Amino acid sequence: MKMARIESAVRLVLAFYKAFNRHDVPAMMQVMSDDCLLESASPAPDGTVYTGKEAVSRFWQDFFRASPQAHIAVEEVIGFGMRCAACWKYEWVDSAGEKQHLRGVDLFEEKAGLLNRQRSYVKGGGGDEQRDVSL
């Protein structure tokens, strides 16, 4: 297997998070397939499934509107050919103006050169609406 092929999912995931930190939903969707699927981490215990670019795009638009200071610090990305795992720290400012964070992991799958599936998991549980993060 060529190195470029082995690294392609990692490159797509890094591009996704770079666009996330700019709150650039169109750029996030550029690396997602038309039939993409997002499995959010909330509500616990099973999350919510969003299917297709339109639904996933709408989810992210709503997410950034609710969390205008959202930021992801990628801590580690591990590629497995067409699959990729990313450990991250999600940071935001709550309604009281306090900085908050939580850690989690996203599992991605690539299909035909684009991200096709994103499954999000978070550590712990909480009470406020921002813990409904779907990364």
Question: Nearest Cα to 108, choosing from 69, 132, 79?
Answer: 79
Instruction: Give the pLDDT confidence of 34-92 residue by residue, as tens digits.
Output: 999 999 998 988 999 999 999 999 999 999 999 999 999 999 999 988 999 999 999 99
Task: Give the chain's end-to-end CA distance (angstroms, integer).
Answer: 30
pLDDT for position 27 = 98
Q: What is the pLDDT of residue 69?
A: 96
User: In angstroms, what CA-CA distances link 118 with 3, 9, 38, 94, 124?
Assistant: 23, 12, 5, 25, 19
Tell whether the model's pLDDT for residue 129 goes beyond 60: no
Whether pLDDT at 118 is above 80: yes
Query: pTM for the complete prediction?
Result: 0.88
Whole-number Å distance between alpha carbons of 114 and 91: 26
pLDDT of 131 above 50: no
31 pLDDT exceeds 60? Answer: yes
Closest Cα to residue 117, out of 13, 20, 22? 13
Confidence class for position 126, pLDDT limits 50, 70, 90: low
Domains by residue range for the chain, with CATH: 3-122 (3.10.450.50)
Mean pLDDT of the region 14-32: 98
